[in-house]
Structure 1
Amino acid sequence: MPVNATSAAAPRPLLLAGFPASSWAFALRIWLAMLLALYVSFWLELESPTSAALTVAILALPTRGQGMEKAGYRLLATAIGVIASIAIAGMFSQTGGLLLAVLGIWVGLCAYMAGMLDGNRAYAAALCCITVALIAVEQIDTPLQVFPTGVARGAAIGIGVLAVALVNEVLAAPDYHPVLASRIEALHRRVVELAQGAERGQSPSAAVAASMLHDIAAVRPEIASLTTESSIGTARMAAARSALVDLVSALSLGRMLAALSAKSAPAPDAAGLTAMSRSWVRTEISRKNAQVRSSLDALREGTRPYRAWSAPLYRSRRIAAETGARAGISFTLIAIFFVLTGWPTTELCLALVAVIIGLGSTSPSPRSFTMVAIMASSIACALGGILKYLVFNGVSEFQLLAIGLAPVVIGLGLLISLPNPMLSSLSRLVLVFTLAVLAPTNPQSYDPEVFLVTSLFVCLSTTLVFAAQILLPPLSGDRRVRLLLGEARRELSQSDGGPAHHLAPEEAAFRDAARIEQILTANGPSAIDDQIADEAMRCFDQAEALRRCSAELDLMGQGPLAEAAQAAREALARQNGGAILAAAAALRQAAARSNMPASAAIAVLVAASAAFAPSQSPTDFSQGERP
């Protein structure tokens, strides 16, 4: 019996101690890059060699392009943070409480910017906050040391970046574009299956469609790393972006086809219009699928795509502002707590508080991140103590430092490579906190009092951030969902298309998909609520239908069909399915009388009438926030 090629099992990767060879290579690269960064820092007698090791831990990413993209943003954010530290320390160093207030405003501003960005750009915004914390806050009593401290930190980070780049190049770290192409191809197969099901009369649930949009939009932050991967990285990034935009467009067309298939058409004229619309949608789906395949070929070959779409990110200023305000107030409250207690040498703890708040602002759930940080800090303090007083135990030779670090760095590197996001994030934080607690120097310090104070402040900082989040809770997932859905409804009610009016329909659809991705991630990995999915997809379908109709009707602004086109626009403004279908019939008659082509406009109007059918009226669960 012949073996079905599609069902043949893929070759299993080579495993060693339960981890694939690629994970071992990744962990080994982290360890070697960290040793190189520390060795060069010791040789140059830098003031902050720990920052070089921490840079390696932060840039520990499986592919070359991902690491270099994050490295670029890390260098840029460090430069901005150093400049801000000098400015803040220079203007407010003698103002006491005003300095803490300014630092709180800076933390809130950075958290706001992190909420307006995604991927490594959001990390860069958070790092601007972290850099000020590690320079200005730690030198709060010695403002004249801000500049040399900033220069030393910048030099150490530069060495860490160069160490990562060199090790990745020498050990041939893999490129990311083959992985990205495989992911996009898998998403394309899912979109094709959805359209095929719609052709057979199978209508996928809103939760399934929303999940597919989430998976497509989630790839967006990762394609930026292609620019730093090779000289043709810019072309590959444009191809990947175009493929994602066309995937969203193809999925929306599949949804249109499913809605048309489910629509009842008792009148012969309506049946003819529906058949025309189905035929047009099928043609458009085939065209979009061909464009996705073309973009995938361009991605693999490193050539420019047929058209370089932009893939705009949806930005909720309301959510970002609330997140930034909470972050700034939390930092200020903790600073006031330290002032009231009068504890000496609390600069390190306050700096770590800003670090945790800054990193938490890049997460959909800051409280969950803080809980992970609490666990990571406890584990890191124990690992740091074991390394310092049981493994090293007073030695100062670099060779012994390298051997002692190997089990911890390589072991945590293996865990970072796991697909489990929770375990991977925890392991990365443990590695970062362990290096911060261990603080490798030349010669190595073994003062137990310093180690205990550092460990205490590391654990205290995470605990205080968690206490501040209990007193002033971060924006909840349900609140985020309500705000995002409310913004979607308000844009749907605007005749000009809202903030996305300047975008092409395909680009605006991707922006809406990015909003759905944010809705689905607002409550973490929990299953999506069916009512939320229905409401989100209803807004997505109707907004997409309105944009397509407007684009087609704009082509008829002048000529014999202008009057019928204007009547169609008025029907669209009422968002009534029956009126839109009547406008489509009137436009068909006007086109027949004038012998003018209008099949595309008629088809999208019929599809819009299905999207605004009364049976698809939403359940209003927004607690009165619907405009």
Structure 2
Amino acid sequence: MQVNSIGAAVGASPLAFAGFPVSSWAFALRVWLAMLLALYAGFWLELESPSSAALTVAVLTLPTRGQGLEKAGYRLLATAIGVAASIAITGLFSQTGALLLAVLGIWVGLCVYVAGMLDGNRAYAAALGCITVALIAIEQIDSPLQVFPTGIARGAAIGIGVLAVALVNELLAAPDYHPVLASRLEALHRRVTEFARGAIRGDVSSTPAAADLLHDIAALRPEIASLSTESSIGTARTAAARSAMVDLVDELALARAFAALPAAVATAQDDPGCGQSSLIAICRAQLRSEIIRRNSDVRGNLGALRAGTQPLRQWRAPLYRSRRIAAEGAFRAAIHFVLIAIVFDLAGWPSTELCLTLAAAIIALSSTTPDPRGFTRLAAFAMPVACLLGGILKYLVFNGVSEFQLLAIGLAPVVIGMALLITLPSRTLSSLGRLILVFMLAVLAPSNPQSYDPEVFLVTCLFCQLAALLAFAAQLLLPSLSSERRIQLLLAAARRELRRLDFGHARHPAPEEAAFRDATQIEQIMSAGGSSVAGQQVVAEAMHCFDQAAALRRCHTELERLAAGALSEAAGAARAALTSRNGHTILAAAEALQRAAPQAHVSCDPILAALVRASTAFGCQQPLTGSSQERRP
């Protein structure tokens, strides 16, 4: 039996060539063909900058069709906004000198702020708005009348690049993303189901394991939007995948609440004033049935995802947004750009527009990553490699030729090699491959006819490397928001929101959707450095806040159903007990409600279970870090 399983595993392994699977080679071939198609169309249409079309292909190099089309749509939208902003900025401030650079710095900060409030390709679109203004307004800073035609030319080149990618992906049958996403969600479903089974069996609940699950679930949120662009039923698949994620988070929260109940049983037995064992039994039965129901909902949503049908119930998947983190990142990015601009202004070097443009692009793109300094360091490393590859292609491979066939053959090894690097699972190597490909095309700047002036090429390489180094130096002088600072702000926000979680407002999001929003907050904490020892303590406390907030929201939802009935007085007492955030007081309110229910002939098992869950979440356990006054809301 063991031999058969090994043989099956070997037989299931994908075909590979030179260490890369066939799917990676097919992806690299699509990238190369799309780039050639974009360049050929740019040459044929005699665009001002046909290399922008090739750069668009390099940026849109994503393994599946839906991901590429979604990013292409955001790229077109951001380009249109950037062109309009470039015209407005240069039209108002073209003759103001230093004020123009200050306004450009403010625009950089604004784009970085918007990127910090979004995720996925929407954040990329915000960063691209900054890059578009840099490529148009800054490069034409001495000739403002050329801003409009330059913007139109850039928009045309990007449109050609998008069409080339879409056509090649369609003709070569680029794979869809929904099977991959469905498999990942099914794997997460198995992990959550096993976690819930362990909780019901009475196994010790692992907070790090639960946090890892929340991280992995919430990390899929940016990728789900790409399903809408794959086909006519992509919107239904997006809704199904989103609902599956929300249900997975809620199932995990229910399992954690169930796992915390055994301690409450012991408390109820040891201290009669703390509650009755019947309440614990009601809570256990209610949570078990809710876990089973939620698990069934996840299976139904995954089935709808595979079939491309609408789920029975659609959930929103809100994203946690920290305005404080976004504002601090925007302020630092604006200062970084202004510092680099001051350096060039004081140096008085000619033709520094390219350097300032590239520095703005690096600053903007680094803002979309969890580690901006790490991205800038990677860009500083990729730039000389890209310049070297560009020089080899221009002066050793092409060597003065202008035939398109030779251009296609010469680009093949570098483009295919970098595309293969992009497919690697390592995030660092994948990012490095993409950066080298983009920078190489920017330095090489394929045109018709091709320029072979060595002086221009050397100056371009010098300024490109200087831009990356100055961007990194600016981040050293005024460091970007550190992981520790980001974690502190996120945890402080979690505590603050828990303190403000009252029940005086009539409008609240659904508890399931609010729990998913909290899960995205935990995902951000872990992405910022939750794997360290100090980070693990923060994650544990964030999970504690997650459990308490989920319990309070569930109580609020259940109490609203009793507000106008015969148990309105007992429900009001329970609501007042919840504001105390004391487990004994909440459990006493549950006992009072249990005694009043038979007289009113009303079944209130769901609210009793919710109150017991809240009493456990706000029990007598000590906070994980710090003093009780500091940690307990």
TM-score, structure 1 as length reference:
0.97
The offset of 1:620, in angstroms, is 2.6
Do the aligned partners of 1:365 and 1:524 also contact (CA within 8 Å) in 2? no
Between 546-555 and 387-396, the greater mean CA deviation after superposition: 387-396
In the alignment, which residue of structure 2 is the partner of 1:160? 161
Return the match for 2:481 from 433, 451, 475.
475
CA separation in 1, counterparts of 2:128 and 2:469? 21
Q: Quick check: 1:293 aligned with 2:294?
A: no
CA separation in 2, counterparts of 1:204 and 1:88? 56
Return the match for 1:336 from 336, 339, 342.
342
CA separation in 2, counterparts of 1:622 and 1:499? 28
In the alignment, which residue of structure 2 is the partner of 1:266? 269
The offset of 1:9, in angstroms, is 2.3
Q: Quick check: 1:465 aligned with 2:468?
A: no
CA separation in 1, counterparts of 2:118 and 2:371? 16
Return the match for 1:603 from 589, 606, 609.
609
CA separation in 2, counterparts of 1:294 and 1:394? 62
In the alignment, which residue of structure 2 is the partner of 1:380? 386
Q: Quick check: 1:454 aligned with 2:453?
A: no
* Post-superposition CA distance 1:523-561 (Å, at most 9, x none): 387677331121010000000000000000010001221
The offset of 1:446, in angstroms, is 0.7
In the alignment, which residue of structure 2 is the partner of 1:215? 216
In the alignment, which residue of structure 2 is the partner of 1:509? 515
In the alignment, which residue of structure 1 is the partner of 2:139? 138
In the alignment, which residue of structure 1 is the partner of 2:232? 231
Return the match for 1:548 from 548, 554, 557.
554
Do the aligned partners of 1:37 and 1:160 also contact (CA within 8 Å) in 2? yes
CA separation in 1, counterparts of 2:162 and 2:438? 16
CA separation in 1, counterparts of 2:151 and 2:523? 38
CA separation in 2, counterparts of 1:6 and 1:278? 42
The offset of 1:615, in angstroms, is 1.1
Q: Quick check: 1:402 aligned with 2:405?
A: no
In the alignment, which residue of structure 2 is the partner of 1:411? 417
The offset of 1:273, in angstroms, is 1.0
Q: 1:418 to 1:198 in 2, by over 3 A?
A: same
Which blocks of at least 5 consecutive residues in structure 1 are unaligned?
none
Do the aligned partners of 1:100 and 1:335 also contact (CA within 8 Å) in 2? yes
SS in 1 for 2:386: helix
SS in 2 for 1:529: helix
In the alignment, which residue of structure 2 is the partner of 1:205? 206
In the alignment, which residue of structure 2 is the partner of 1:618? 624
In the alignment, which residue of structure 1 is the partner of 2:9? 9
The offset of 1:362, in angstroms, is 0.4
CA separation in 2, counterparts of 1:499 and 1:553? 13
In the alignment, which residue of structure 2 is the partner of 1:520? 526
CA separation in 1, counterparts of 2:504 and 2:123? 25
In the alignment, which residue of structure 2 is the partner of 1:566? 572
Do the aligned partners of 2:116 and 2:329 also contact (CA within 8 Å) in 1? yes
CA separation in 1, counterparts of 2:504 and 2:115? 23
CA separation in 2, counterparts of 1:574 and 1:452? 70
Do the aligned partners of 1:37 and 1:53 also contact (CA within 8 Å) in 2? yes
The offset of 1:204, in angstroms, is 2.7
In the alignment, which residue of structure 1 is the partner of 2:73? 72
Q: How many residues align?
A: 627
SS in 1 for 2:276: helix
SS in 2 for 1:418: coil
CA separation in 1, counterparts of 2:179 and 2:503? 37
Q: 1:61 to 1:509 in 2, by over 3 A?
A: same
CA separation in 2, counterparts of 1:616 and 1:15? 54
Q: Quick check: 1:42 aligned with 2:48?
A: no
In the alignment, which residue of structure 1 is the partner of 2:443? 437
Between 270-279 and 177-186, the greater mean CA deviation after superposition: 270-279
CA separation in 2, counterparts of 1:326 and 1:498? 38
Q: Quick check: 1:366 aligned with 2:372?
A: yes
* Post-superposition CA distance 1:37-75 (Å, at most 9, x none): 000000011001110000000000000000000000000
Do the aligned partners of 1:206 and 1:530 also contact (CA within 8 Å) in 2? no
Q: 1:352 to 1:498 in 2, by over 3 A?
A: farther
Between 339-348 and 541-550, the greater mean CA deviation after superposition: 339-348
Q: Quick check: 1:303 aligned with 2:309?
A: yes
Return the match for 2:351 from 345, 354, 357.
345
Between 509-518 and 330-339, the greater mean CA deviation after superposition: 330-339
CA separation in 1, counterparts of 2:114 and 2:400? 44
Between 204-213 and 121-130, the greater mean CA deviation after superposition: 204-213
SS in 2 for 1:69: helix
Q: 1:24 to 1:525 in 2, by over 3 A?
A: farther
1:54-65 map, 5 Å: 54-65=55-66
Q: Quick check: 1:537 aligned with 2:543?
A: yes
Which blocks of at least 5 consecutive residues in structure 2 are unaligned?
none
Between 461-470 and 495-504, the greater mean CA deviation after superposition: 495-504
The letter for the 1-side match of 2:417 is G
The offset of 1:94, in angstroms, is 0.2
CA separation in 2, counterparts of 1:497 and 1:80? 41
SS in 1 for 2:625: coil
SS in 1 for 2:313: coil
RMSD: 2.0
CA separation in 2, counterparts of 1:525 and 1:367? 19
CA separation in 2, counterparts of 1:73 and 1:29? 21
Q: 1:420 to 1:619 in 2, by over 3 A?
A: same
CA separation in 2, counterparts of 1:6 and 1:550? 52
Q: 1:132 to 1:624 in 2, by over 3 A?
A: farther
Percent sequence identity is 69
Do the aligned partners of 1:199 and 1:257 also contact (CA within 8 Å) in 2? yes
Return the match for 1:584 from 559, 582, 590.
590
In the alignment, which residue of structure 1 is the partner of 2:32? 31
The offset of 1:333, in angstroms, is 1.1
CA separation in 2, counterparts of 1:318 and 1:284? 37
CA separation in 2, counterparts of 1:524 and 1:561? 44
Do the aligned partners of 1:416 and 1:428 also contact (CA within 8 Å) in 2? yes
* Post-superposition CA distance 1:308-339 (Å, at most 9, x none): 11000000000000000110111011111111
CA separation in 1, counterparts of 2:91 and 2:627? 51
Do the aligned partners of 1:194 and 1:254 also contact (CA within 8 Å) in 2? yes
The offset of 1:592, in angstroms, is 2.0
Do the aligned partners of 1:260 and 1:274 also contact (CA within 8 Å) in 2? yes
In the alignment, which residue of structure 1 is the partner of 2:195? 194
Q: 1:586 to 1:200 in 2, by over 3 A?
A: same
CA separation in 2, counterparts of 1:132 and 1:353? 12
The offset of 1:470, in angstroms, is 1.0
The offset of 1:570, in angstroms, is 1.1
SS in 1 for 2:269: coil
Return the match for 2:322 from 316, 333, 338.
316
Q: 1:620 to 1:528 in 2, by over 3 A?
A: closer
* Post-superposition CA distance 1:2-21 (Å, at most 9, x none): 98879952611001011000
**4+ runs deviating over 6 angstroms:** 2-7, 497-500, 621-627
CA separation in 1, counterparts of 2:432 and 2:251? 37
Between 577-586 and 120-129, the greater mean CA deviation after superposition: 577-586
